[in-house]
Copies of this chain bind each other. A is one copy, B any other.
Amino acid sequence: MNEQAAPGRVGDVRRRNLSLVLDSIARNGDAKPSRAQVAAGTGLTKAAVSSLVADLVESGLVSEVGLYRDGERGRPGQGLELSSRRGVVGMEINVDYLAVGLVDLGGSLRFSSTVESRNRGLKPGAVMEKLGELASQAKAAATSAGITILGGGLAVPGLVDEQRNIVLSAPNLHWEHEQLNPQALLEDAPLGVRLSNEANSAALGELWYGDGPADFLYVSGEVGVGGGVIIGSELYTGPGGSAGELGHIVVHPEGPSCSCGGVGCLETFAGQEAIFEAARIPEGSLGRRTELLLAALAADEPHAKRAVRDAGRYLGIALASSARLMDIEAVVLGGHFAVLADWLKPAVLSSLERYAPGLLEPESLTVSRLEHSGTLLGAAGQVIRAVIESPFEFILGKPA
C-alpha cells in the first residue's frame, strides 16, 4: 500500500486551531484583538479561544497588552499581540554585501546592519565567518532588547536544498554544490536557521511586509535575473524547488549564447552585465557602475537609454509569456530593476502591450519599496510563518 497523508487524530483539531488563532492575531497585528474578537474572526467559540490563547501565552508566542479603553459599554478586552520579546534573525549573502536584521514576531525590524563585502569567488567558509560577526551584532541587539531569538533565515543568490543546507548552485558567487552550516550562526536558536533563495525570500518579504497582493511574480534584477512566484499568498517553488527562473526564459530564438548553455535567455538582455555592457559603462564595482548608468540615463545618453529600453522590452516578453503560462496578474520589480524603474517601466509596458495586449493592467506592474530589507524580512518571515503555521510543534519543545 502506498500512502502519504497522515490520518486525522482528535488532537489535530487543536493543532489547527492554535494556528488559526495565532494567524488571526498576526493578521490583525495593529488592532491587538481581544479574545472575543479573535473568536468572532475565526468562528471559534469564546471558550475555545480562551483555552487556545492560554496555551499560546504560556509558550511565550503571544502577549497580553493591557485593556481596551474605547469608551464602549461592557467589560474591556485584553489586547493580544505576537510577542515582541521573541524574534528571528534574517540574514543575506549577496554578491557585494552581507546583511543581517532582527525581526520580532510581529514583523518589526528591530535592528539591522549591512556591510559591503566582495563575496564573488570567496569560499563559503570565509563568507560564513564574516556573516557570523554580523550575526553576533544581531544577537547582542536581541539581548539588550530582551528578545529571545527563536531561529534565523539565510538568503543566498542561488538554488538551495533547504533540507540539507546545500547551495546547489550560485553562479554569481561561483559556488557550486557547497555544503553550509547555517546553524552555527545562531547556535542556541531552538528553530535553527533556514536556508533560502534570495529572490524567493524577497518575494515573500514583499507579500508579508510590503504591499504585494495574494498573487504576483516578483522579479529580481541582480547580477542574474531571478524571480519568485507567489500564488494564493504562498510561495510556489515547483516540484524541484527552482521555479521562477525568469532569467532563462527564451526571449529571442536567435539571441546570444547564455552562461546556462542556452540561447537567447532573458538574462543575456536584461542581466546587470548585459545592461552595463550595452550601455558602455566601464568595468568597476557594482555600486559605481550603477551610479554611472543612472547618470548616463539622466543625461539622456543614447547607449544607456537604449540598453535599458531593450532590457525592458525583453523583460516584457518574458513577463507576457509568464503571465500567460501561470496566469499571473501582477508583477513586482525589485533589485536592479527597481533602481532603473523610471526608465525601465515604460519599455516593459509597451512590450507587454505589443506581445500580450490586455493581459496585464499597467497598474499591476509595481516597484518594490522594501529594497534590501525585503530579503531580510522574507528570510526571517519564513521562520515566523513556520511558527504561525505549526505553533503546536513549537509549544512542545518550547524554550522556557
Binding site for B on A (CB under 8 A): 1-3, 5-10, 12-17, 20, 23-24, 27-28, 31, 33, 37-38, 40-44, 48, 214-215, 227, 231-232, 237-246, 248-253, 260-264, 313-314, 317-318, 320-322, 324-329, 354-358
Contacts and interface: CB of A to CB of B under 8 A. Distances in A.
A313 B253 CA distance: 10
Contact of A242 (B31, B231, B252, B327): B327
A253 B355 contact: yes
Most chain B CB neighbours (cut-off 10 Å) among A15, A20, A24, A317: A317
Nearest to A9: B13
A190 to B, nearest CB: 26
A28 to B, nearest CB: 6
A243 B326 contact: yes
Contacts of A322: 325
A249 B359 CA distance: 12
10 contacts: A1-B27, A6-B43, A12-B13, A246-B325, A249-B324, A252-B252, A260-B356, A261-B356, A262-B354, A262-B355
A250 B12 contact: no
Given A9-B13, A263-B354, A253 B251 contact: yes
Given A7-B48, A321-B321, 4 more contacts: A6-B43, A7-B42, A8-B20, A238-B326
B356 A248 contact: yes
Given A23-B5, A33-B1, A354-B263, A250 B248 contact: no
B10 A24 contact: no
Contacts of A237: 327
Contacts of A1: 24, 27-28, 31, 33, 37-38, 40-41
A8 B12 CA distance: 8
A261 B353 CA distance: 9
A282 to B, nearest CB: 29
